[in-house]
């Protein structure tokens, strides 16, 4: 008897695992997974590359439609789950009067799996009850991930989800400040901030002001967002404002951050970014009791696997291999 073992390669991250075991893919919301599958041009049912109309997989285990279970959308999920919402607002604006509203950013050090130090650009947001980190940085840090369930809603009503979080230490580059924080993982936190390069009309900054982000006038990606959990703890007493219509320089444990309105020599369109997060795990006692009541009273429509079906699924997941020509090889049950 001849057996062939093919090394799996994930279409998303190129690591040696199937796409349905990829942490990066699983961290995406269902709409984002569908978009990724479309970009990769792979089968929406078995999540692999094969000839068109050759897929023999039955489809979604939850609804029976011709798509993979990982692409299943439950229409009433948001209606059945009580939530506690917190708004996260990020504004970067420019108008015909040549003014911009800056948000506070800082360059920080953040620790990886083996205590390596990575440099990251942080957005400080006092309106957020959660901290966030991008997939890209989370991949570099290689930290252990914890499963979570957070809904994140944009200003246009589009909802994404955070399914994983990581915990690590952040450190100041200018002081001895260090703190361990938990971050929700998102593909992207905000567009580049500021939205365009700013030419200051009056850039006089006192020599004693050590900027937390020396490149605060240049567009750059945001790697992490630090919310209200630590925002006010890192504030210090120092404050400086060069003129009435200028920005505020605020001393923090991370260095001096710049926020508020500034005058620019050029014009731009107005850009505003808004996101709302809803924690589906933490609710107040009354909401929790109501949720339990409705879950007891409602008639479930979820397909549950019996013992034999579960064994079949486990056997498939543990033994499936893929050959060089794209065929699946599954070990026969003993």
Q: Contact, 46 vs 9, CB < 8 A?
A: no
Residues 49 and 190 in one domain: no
Residues 67 and 180 in one domain: no
> Structural domain of residue 55, as residue ranges?
19-79+299-329
The number of domains in the chain is: 2
**1: in domain:** no
CATH number of the domain to which 240 belongs: 2.40.70.10
Q: What is the pLDDT along the chain (334 residues), one digit of tens a residue?
A: 443 445 577 888 888 778 877 878 887 888 888 888 888 888 888 888 876 567 777 788 878 888 888 888 765 444 444 444 444 443 333 344 556 788 999 999 999 999 999 999 999 998 888 899 999 999 999 999 999 988 876 566 667 789 999 999 999 999 999 999 999 999 999 989 998 888 765 556 888 899 999 999 899 999 999 998 899 999 999 998 877 777 899 999 999 999 987 766 554 444 444 445 555 555 455 555 555 555 554 444 455 667 777 777 777 777 777 766 667 777 776 6
Give the residue among 261, 238, 233 at the shortest CA–CA distance from 250. 238
Residues 165 and 35 in one domain: no
**Rounded to whole angstroms, how far apart are CA atoms 268 and 265?**
10
Burial 142-151 (b: 16+ CB within 10 A, else e): ebebeebebb
Residues 112 and 131 in one domain: yes
pLDDT tens track for 109-156: 999 999 999 999 999 998 888 899 999 999 999 999 999 988 876 566
3-state secondary structure at position 92 = strand
Q: Contact, 68 vs 108, CB < 8 A?
A: no
Residues 141 and 75 in one domain: no
3-state secondary structure at position 106 = strand
């Amino acid at each position: 008897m001849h057996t062939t073992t093919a090394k799996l390669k994930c279409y998303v991250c190129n690591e040696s695992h199937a796409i349905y075991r990829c942490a990066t893919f699983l961290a995406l919301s269902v709409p984002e997974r569908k978009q990724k599958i479309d970009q990769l041009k792979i089968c929406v049912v078995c999540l692999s590359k094969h000839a068109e109309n050759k897929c023999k997989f039955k489809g979604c285990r939850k609804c029976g439609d011709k798509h993979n279970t990982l692409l299943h959308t439950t229409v009433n999920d948001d209606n059945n789950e009580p939530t506690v919402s917190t708004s996260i607002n990020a504004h970067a604006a420019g108008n015909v009067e040549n003014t911009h509203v800056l948000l506070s950013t800082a360059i920080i050090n953040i620790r990886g799996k083996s205590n390596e130090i990575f440099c990251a650009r942080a957005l400080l947001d006092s309106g957020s009850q959660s901290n966030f980190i991008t997939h890209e940085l989370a991949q570099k840090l290689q930290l252990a991930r914890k499963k979570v369930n957070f809904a994140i809603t944009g200003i246009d009503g589009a909802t994404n989800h955070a399914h994983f979080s990581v915990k690590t230490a952040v450190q100041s580059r200018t002081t001895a400040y260090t703190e361990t924080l938990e971050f929700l993982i998102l593909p992207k936190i905000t567009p580049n901030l500021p939205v365009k390069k700013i030419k200051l009309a009056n850039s006089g900054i006192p020599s004693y002001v050590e900027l937390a982000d020396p490149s605060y006038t240049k567009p750059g990606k945001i790697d992490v967002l630090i919310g209200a959990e630590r925002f006010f703890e890192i504030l210090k007493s120092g404050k400086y404002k060069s003129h009435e219509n200028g920005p505020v320089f605020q001393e923090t444990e991370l260095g001096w951050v710049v926020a508020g309105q500034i005058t620019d020599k050029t014009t731009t369109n107005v850009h505003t970014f808004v996101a709302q997060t809803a924690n589906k795990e933490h609710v107040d006692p009354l909401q929790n009791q109501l949720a339990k009541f409705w879950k007891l009273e409602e008639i479930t429509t979820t397909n549950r696997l019996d013992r034999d079906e579960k064994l079949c699924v486990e056997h498939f997941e543990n033994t499936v291999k893929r050959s060089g020509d794209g065929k699946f090889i599954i070990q026969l049950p003993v």
